[in-house]
Amino acid sequence: MNLKNKLTEQTKHYDAVVVGAGFSGLYMLHRLREAGLSVRVYEAAKGVGGVWYWNTYPGARCDTDSIYYNYTFSEELYNEWTWSERYSSQPEILRYLNYVADKFELREDIQFETRVSDAHFDNSTNQWDVNLDDGSVVTAKYFITGVGVLSTMNIPEFKGKDSFKGEAFHTADWPEKLDLKGKKVGVIGTGSSGVQSIPEIAKEAEHLTIFQRSGQFTAPANNYAYDEEDVKEIKANFKAMRRKMERTYDGIPIDRPNRSVLDHTPKERNKVFQEAWDKGGVPYLLATYSDLKTNEKSNASMAKFVSSKIYDLVKDQELADDLQPVDYFGTKRPITHIGFYDALEQDNVSFLNVTETPIEEITPKGIKTSESEHDLDIIIYATGFDAITGSLFKIDIRGKDGTSLKEKWADGEKTRTNLGLTTAGFPNMFIITGPESPSVTTNMPMAIEQHVDWIIDCINYLETNKIAAIEATVEAEDAWSTAVSDRANKTLFVKTKSWYTGGNIDGESTRFPIYLGGMPKYGEIINNIAKNGYEGFDLTYQEEPVKN
């Protein structure tokens, strides 16, 4: 589609168009407005919240401590909002994001129920022509995506999928009024979404059958209601907490000793692992040793510890065999559980290991594995997401030579960015939580603030210096992508098929498109580039600067 032909004198122009109104889009809008720019945010949903708008399945909650899993750009906001529990539930997080939207009066610049379908860069005007699903077109100097890394559902193409006569849906598309009482329910998948929803579904359904492909590493949540006095103290120490978050590898301010598992005797290790296990939450296990993701032996030691815990958690030891995690600890995002293992042993719950007996097809009546047929009223796909690039690829994004982003990044091996924020050939486009940034391995609101702050500094620089366009050079992009891969190749991440690599869907990709140097190092790199007048970028001036 040639968007240029759709432009008229009435076509609306904004300084910036932002896609998405989750944590990313909301903060980006706030900062762009502060900078005095005109902005329009387009959001497919009826409301703000992103992930927390869509994922309404029972049991949905964050697995990063709530006191860290929120914005920290405003101390006033931090003081005004009080989380009720350590791992807040989806409704509470959604209320928080609505509160943020109201506090900063963001809604007036957001157009809901509107999907961006195409965005094409026009060389002649140095602006983006943006097509919306209502057929209208707008133009903008800056095109900024906050489309989310886990916002495009993955429903595997099982044979006969559409023949099922009952109700079928994905966890991120939970029907508003759903009564599970008296129903025979099947859940496919035991990632975080499956593990969170299964105990709640098991409470309601007449019978629940779980179809698990791979056993997963988990940690207990140890969820609890926050104590009023503790919250007061946390708020009083906001500045120190924020500083520590900035200096911590993943934006979660817990201590991470720089030591190898192998420095300790097996007894000492188990003590360290146990202490972290008792605290609850995956980040605490990950923080125990610094070589868990690089050293096979160290990783195996943690894997053995978690595996033994699973044998303790379930009475039926054959079930425990089936639940044993595969791969390495932490190379798929580990899962925090509340009541999952107890639910599996309820009388109304059956568990199937579909590695041994794969799902062969969905039939009009239910799910057929290589061994048995299961009659169901409802099938729930807890099968995850087309992660990281899925939502970017749903938009026809075309750069300066008409090249499509999807074609440029044709397979995981070709995903190339400069700093995870920009990509060569796509001037004035910024990607919040893009591939090759550290975002998905961090406390994401913190990563989002880091990205948005860099983008706004860059835009302020462009506006102040009358620069019409900024574009990553191919050389800088190649250097960044190579550095990202070199780092990743030294870790066990590349040996695992996960949603990080896209291997959850195609079963093959192993390139790990995430910067693993951590948030502080990443911040230092991107800020130095800004300080040095955007090294690695071509700048096109509106008027040539006067040279002395």
Rounded to a whole number of angstroms, the minimum distance from the CB of residue 334 to ligand NAP is: 8
β partners of residue 41: 18, 110
Q: How far apart are CA 186 and CA 344, in angstroms?
A: 13
Q: Which residues, 161 to 220, sit near ligand FAD by CB under 6 A? A: 193
Q: Is 41 in the site for ligand FAD (CB under 6 A)?
A: no
Q: Is 149 in the site for ligand FAD (CB under 6 A)?
A: yes
Stretch that binds ligand NAP, among 184-192, 408-416, 418-426, 449-457 (CB under 6 A): 184-192
Q: Which is nearer to ligand FAD, 129 or 377 (CB)?
A: 129
Give yes or no for a contact between 434 and 420, defined as CB atoms under 8 angstroms apart. Answer: yes
Stretch that binds ligand FAD, among 56-64, 231-239, 516-524, 525-533 (CB under 6 A): 56-64
Rounded to a whole number of angstroms, the minimum distance from the CB of residue 444 to ligand FAD is: 3
Give yes or no for a contact between 40 and 88, defined as CB atoms under 8 angstroms apart. Answer: no
Q: Is 55 in the site for ligand FAD (CB under 6 A)?
A: yes
Q: Is 234 in the site for ligand FAD (CB under 6 A)?
A: no
Query: In the 3-class helix/strand/coil scheme, how is 416-483 assigned residue by residue?
Result: CCECCCECCCCCCEEECCCCCCCHHHCCHHHHHHHHHHHHHHHHHHHHHCCEEEEEECHHHHHHHHHH
Pairing of strands 39-42, 110-111: parallel
Q: Which is nearer to ligand NAP, 150 or 519 (CB)?
A: 150
Q: Which is nearer to ligand FAD, 376 or 419 (CB)?
A: 419
Q: Which is nearer to ligand NAP, 16 or 320 (CB)?
A: 320
Q: Which of the listed partners (ligand FAD, ligand NAP, none) does 380 bind, with a CB threshold of 5 to 8 Å by partner kind?
A: none
Angle CA 24–152–446, to nearest 5: 25
Q: Which is nearer to ligand NAP, 206 or 371 (CB)?
A: 371
Q: Is 70 in the site for ligand NAP (CB under 6 A)?
A: no
Nearest residue to 15 (alpha-carbon basis) of 457, 431, 460: 460
* Sign (positive or negative) of CA dihedral 372, 376, 382, 385: positive
Give the nearest residue (CB) to ligand NAP: 191
Contact residue for ligand NAP among 17, 48, 130, 150 (CB under 6 A): 150
Sorted by sequence, the CB contacts under 8 Å of residue 400 that are 6+ apart come out as 121, 123, 425, 426, 427, 471
Tokens of 153: 């559902």
Rounded to a whole number of angstroms, the minimum distance from the CB of residue 189 to ligand NAP is: 3
Q: Which is nearer to ligand NAP, 196 or 418 (CB)?
A: 196
Tokens of 125: 């005007």
Give yes or no for a contact between 415 and 511, defined as CB atoms under 8 angstroms apart. Answer: yes
CA distances from 229 to 220, 232, 235, 406 (A): 25, 5, 10, 51
Contact residue for ligand NAP among 146, 148, 191, 251 (CB under 6 A): 191
Angle CA 476–477–479, to nearest 5: 65
Q: Is 383 in the site for ligand NAP (CB under 6 A)?
A: yes
Contact residue for ligand NAP among 186, 189, 390, 513 (CB under 6 A): 189
Q: Measured in whole angstroms, how far is the alpha carbon of residue 392 from the centre of its chain?
A: 13
CA distances from 112 to 21, 269, 439 (A): 9, 51, 26
Binding mask 307-336 for ligand NAP (x = CB under 6 A): --------------------------x--x
Q: Is 209 in the site for ligand NAP (CB under 6 A)?
A: no
Q: Is 197 in the site for ligand NAP (CB under 6 A)?
A: no
Q: Which is nearer to ligand FAD, 21 or 67 (CB)?
A: 21
Stretch that binds ligand FAD, among 50-58, 199-207, 241-249, 337-345 (CB under 6 A): 50-58
Q: Is 44 in the site for ligand FAD (CB under 6 A)?
A: yes
Q: Which of the listed partners (ligand NAP, ligand FAD, none) does 42 bind, with a CB threshold of 5 to 8 Å by partner kind?
A: ligand FAD
Count CB-CB contacts under 10 A for residue 232. Answer: 12
Q: Which is nearer to ligand FAD, 331 or 389 (CB)?
A: 389
Nearest residue to 12 (alpha-carbon basis) of 111, 156, 96: 111
Stretch that binds ligand FAD, among 32-40, 62-70, 211-219, 519-527 (CB under 6 A): 62-70
Q: Is 250 in the site for ligand FAD (CB under 6 A)?
A: no
Stretch that binds ligand FAD, among 13-21, 309-317, 354-362, 474-482 (CB under 6 A): 13-21
Give yes or no for a contact between 488 and 482, defined as CB atoms under 8 angstroms apart. Answer: no
Tokens of 111: 């157009």
DSSP assignment of 77-133, as one string?
HHHH---SBSS-BHHHHHHHHHHHHHHTT-GGGEE-S--EEEEEEETTTTEEEEEET
Q: How far apart are CA 113 and CA 46, in angstroms?
A: 5
Q: Is 62 in the site for ligand FAD (CB under 6 A)?
A: yes
Q: Which of the listed partners (ligand NAP, ligand FAD, none) does 146 bind, with a CB threshold of 5 to 8 Å by partner kind?
A: ligand FAD
Nearest residue to 470 (alpha-carbon basis) of 434, 431, 424: 424
Q: Which of the listed partners (ligand FAD, ligand NAP, none) does 151 bind, with a CB threshold of 5 to 8 Å by partner kind?
A: ligand FAD
* Sign (positive or negative) of CA dihedral 517, 522, 523, 524: positive
Q: Which residues, 432 to 461, sit near ligand FAD by CB under 6 A? A: 432-433, 443-444, 448
Q: How far apart are CA 148 and CA 391, in angstroms?
A: 7
Site residue total, ligand FAD (CB under 6 A): 37
Q: Which of the listed partners (ligand NAP, ligand FAD, none) does 45 bind, with a CB threshold of 5 to 8 Å by partner kind?
A: ligand FAD
Q: Is 395 in the site for ligand FAD (CB under 6 A)?
A: yes
In the complex, which residues of this chain contact ligand NAP (CB under 6 A)? Answer: 62-63, 150, 156, 188-194, 196, 213-214, 333, 336, 354, 359, 382-385, 499, 504
